[in-house]
Structures are given as structure tokens and as C-alpha cells.
Structure 1
Amino acid sequence: MATGPATWDYRNAHHDSFGRTHYRRYGDGLVSSLGLGTYLGEPSDAVDDGYEDAILAALESGCNVLDTAINYRCQRSERVIGRALEASDVDRDAVLVATKGGFVPFDGERPDDPGRYVKEEYVDTGLVDREDLVMGSHCIAPEYIEDQLERSLVNLDLEAIDLYYVHNPETQLRENTREEVYDQLEETFVRLEERAAAGDIGHYGVATWDAFRVPQDHPSYLSLPTVVERARAAAKEAGTGGTHFRAIQLPFNVAMADAFTVDAHDTPTGAKSALWFAADAGLNVFTSASIAQGDLARELPEDVAARLNGETTVQRSINFARSAPGVTSSLVGMSDPAHVAENVTACEYDPLGAEAFDAVFE
């Protein structure tokens, strides 16, 4: 598991190459403001090889955040991270490894009949109660998430995972009420609190797509304050003392800035955006789709680009995402060492200050 001393040593070995605040606090340690994501790509050996090379390059270059999910590329993304960590000269405890559970994963390749696969491998075996399965592909019940956590530990070949997310819980809203989803999350949080106390995970959180960045009347909306309250209740029930709920993940980029602009989360002092609520609550924020899965590599609004540092559109897009208030690390999919080199170079520039960032939205 990542430790404070090891991540500080990693920072000390690399920080002279970067602008200010490239390394940011995560617990008692430090993590890079750029993280390597592993969502994109076919489930093939060739893509595996590209990811392994990219991960090794990233770790050597000053990026110590690796993000994945058990369903990414049919479990291959987790497995390639495990191989890369084993092959790397960088100590395991200098690296934050995050993964997710929620979507039912295939194993190695896409089956010819996905529905039959899910039924035979998960429903018929009792791993998933049919009533807990939404859209035939998503489950966040405690027993299922615990099974997925165990599989992720094997895939990653790790004794412990630093950050474990419940993956896109808003998917459950397709067939359940918000209160039912909050109840299910709390039950699962109890199990994750227990696994944190046992040392199998460092912390846990929620990775979302829509939930925290849409208005309250949106069908996919979930209240971040309520999720935090449920995590605190789970910690109390589990008897673990303070909660191990540490982080959220959500999309944020120039074209999808809702997490900063939409005040959807009620607090005693008024409604706040997801980013501001997280910052005030002491939660770490990891942004996904930080370059809009490559779309911003091709085009960035001229008035925005003029305010951002970087030699390329990709670098400027990365610097927008990691300049937002409360952001710990911005995730970018990287399966090519050349892309790693370009993206890491973005962090040689200082992020925007608060006033300069606000000016982008004027």
C-alpha cells in the first residue's frame, strides 16, 4: 500500500522537474496531479503491451497515480497494472493504485452472448441476486462488491488496494429510488469500512459520471452530502472510528465543467458545486475525462486556450483540469510512452491561480 514516507521520497526524487503543486496531499502522503487512466482500448495483447510500457514510463517520469476498474478491457487493465508494478523499479508503496467495482466484468475478452455470460457466471452461481442487478450489468450490493474486490486484488497481484471506488452508483437509479440507492450504498460502505480496518484497502470512495455534476432534478442526481453522511453512518455501524471514505471521481474538463459550475449540493451555508463541497469537506477529487477522452486534443476554445500554459492543446487541457479547486489529480488515458512524455510535460507548468481559473468562466 502507498505510504507517506515512500510517496514523499518519490516526490523528492522528481519535484525539481515540475511546477508548483504538482504533488498534492493524499492522507499523510503525496500524489502527482496527473494520473494514468486505463479505460480506453481493445482487450488485446497489443494494447496490454502499450499500457505496460506507458505505466513504466509514467512511474519513471513522476506520475504515481494509476487508475483502473475491474471491468476495464475485460479485467486486462487491472492485470497489466499488476505486471507493470512488478516490473517497475519504483517501489510499490510510492504509488497510489485505485480501482472500482460495480459493472459486471467479462474475463479476458468479450463473450459472444454477454447476457448469457452474466447469467451463468454471476446470477446462476449466486454471486449476484437478480433483484440487485440493474440493466443486466450493474450491481453494488455488499456481497457482490466484496467479491469484485477480491478479484481485483488477484488481478493487480497486490496485498492491498489504496483506493477502492463504488463505480457509477447512479446507474442504480434506472430501476431504484434515490433512497434505495443511498441505503444500498450505506450497506456496501459498511463492508468497505470493514475491509479498510482489515488492511485490504486504504480508503474507499465513489466514482461517478453524472451523479455529482448534474442539477438536483436530473434523473441521475445523487447528493454528495448525503453520500458522505451515509459513509459516516457506515463507519459508526462498522465500529471503525472515523470514516475511510476519502475520495470521489467525476468528469471534469473545459467542455464538461459542471462539477465546478453547477451548485447542486445543499449545505448549511448554501448550495455548492461538487468541487467546492469536496474541497470544504476534505475529500480528494480525481477528475476523469480530463481531455474528454482525446476530443480536446484536437480542439480547445481559443479564449480558454489563451489563458492556459502548455505547448500543445493536450497540455493546456490537462492544466485546466488540474487547476480547478479541490482537484487532487487529473486522470488521462495513456497507453503509449510518447503520450506519457507529452502529458507529464504539462505538469512542468504552474497551474492557474484561483482568480485566473475563475476568469475562464467570465
Structure 2
Amino acid sequence: MKQLRDILFLQTFGIILVVLGHSFYQFPSDTPFIRWIYGFHMPLFFFISGYLLKYVHGDLAHLQLSGRTGYMARKARRLLVPYVVISSLFFVPKALMSRYSVRPIQLNLHDYLDQLLIPYHNVFGAYWFMPTLFLVFIVFILARKTLGRHATTTGGMVALGALGVVDCLMPFAKDSLLNIVGVVFYLFYFALGYQYQASRVETAIKKANAAMVFITTLALSVLLMYVPQGSLTDLLMALNGILMSIGLALLYERRGTHALDHLFGYTYTIYLYSGFFQIAALQVLLHFVSLPPVVYVPLAFLMGLYGPWAMKKAWQKLRH
């Protein structure tokens, strides 16, 4: 990963957008800046995951799936174990403090199972990503391994196009079991990242004028917000946002910038624990103190970003 500074930047840029998006407490979802963030930040994470899968494991021919040290077990430990353990530990406190919550829950078995099996209903709304990414990994790898030597570049591009069409035609629903609808939806961006890695497109973009790529796609991302909403517009916003992020990553690297380097490698920790700090800053504090958005948005953002970062820093010092 230290060799992939552009990917480290993309992960960091993505998690900054996630934390920032969650900081706009009680803002309507159609607020322009929130729409802009949510137009591409999660597709970007699936794109990165697909890219890294290809970078690390190539054509997947020799990837061992089963067994205690197999790929499925490793991914389950990284994604599913935290999902179940943290959600279970905080189910009771969340239920007892539901009056402070945006999404109240009841202290019963139904709501407990519901928040595990319907990821968007989880006690931490952002945790839907973990089981969804796990299933995307498994579905994609099994499909590639089943095709074996028949999984050609041309075939991959055809499959990618088919997944894009499905995304445009399939109604998105957040209440499907294990977020199966979300798995199908985000599979396109994961496959896109896999196909992009070491492709001619990646080579061409890396040779392009990074500033021009970023400025052009940034302007287009603003224009797309004023296009009538629909599945095709959403797809274009996501693809444009991913390309814009890549352009920004290239700019960051070519200019020799290091402003965000201190966050490199902390993305997953921030994702897992930012919710705790933001709950303290938003859903609890604002019930006792009246603060304007100009105060609580930056407060929630800084706490969500640097609370987990400081926590991991402290843990690393204790271990040494």
C-alpha cells in the first residue's frame, strides 16, 4: 500500500467525504453539497476495493477461498466480525437512548435481528457497507473463478456494461435482506475498479494533465446536480466523481503534497468509530445545547475524523 500513494489518497479523500456528509445533521438530503457528496463517495470505495483486489491477486486463479486462512475467512474477520460485534454491543445502549436517535429502535429480538440482517437498519447506519462489501467480494470472485480462463478482457467489459445497464434499470431499495439489491448495484463499481487496474485507461489517465482532469470533472459534477434526477444521472454522477477523485489524487501526488499523509492507513479505523464521536457531538450535545450549523458541523466533522485517529495513535503508543 505504501507504493500506492494515489490509492491511499483516494481512501482518505473518500473517508473525509463520508465523515463530512454525516456531519450535516438534520440537513435535508437534497441540499446541493450533500447531494454532491453522496453522488459518488460510496461508489468510489467499491471502485478502490475492486482495484486493490486486482492489484494484489491478479486474475484470482491462485486465490484460495476456503479454510481458516482462506480469503473468505480473512474478509469475514475484517468485515463481518466487527459488524456483528460492534452492532451487538451497542444495540442495548442505542435502544435505551432512542429518544436522542434519528432512527429509534425497540429493545427486542425483532429489532436486534432486523439491524443485523437489513444492513441499512443497523444501529450505525454507515455499517451497511461492511456486509455489502463482503458479499460483493464473494460474488465477484466466485464469478471470476467459475469462468476461469474464459474470463477474458472483452468478456469483462461486456459484463461490466451489463452491470451498468442493470444499475440504470433496477430500482434501488434499502430494505432488502443482507442488502442484496445494494450488492448488485455496487458490483458494477467494484468490477469497474478491477477492470481499470493496469488497463490502458489507467495508463492514459496517469499520463493526462491532472489539473485539467480534475477541473473538468469538478465542473461537470456541479452541472450534473441540475440535470433531472434518475438512475442514469446517478450513474454519470458516480462515474464522473470517481474520475474527479482520481484527478485530484494525481494532482496531490505530482505537486508533492503531504497535507493528508498523516491520515493514510487510518481510513478503516475512522470508518468504524467516527459514528461514536459524531453521536456525542450531534445527537446528544444538540439536545442540551442550541448550536448553529456553522458551529456543530465543523465540530462533528473534526471529532468524527480525528477522534478515531487519535484513538488509534494512542493505542499504537501503548502497544510499543
TM range (shorter): 0.3 to 0.5
TM-score (norm 2): 0.32
Identify, as 1 or 2, the structure richer in strand. Answer: 1
1 or 2 for the larger relative contact order (CA 8 Å, sep ≥6)? 2
Identify, as 1 or 2, the structure richer in helix. Answer: 2
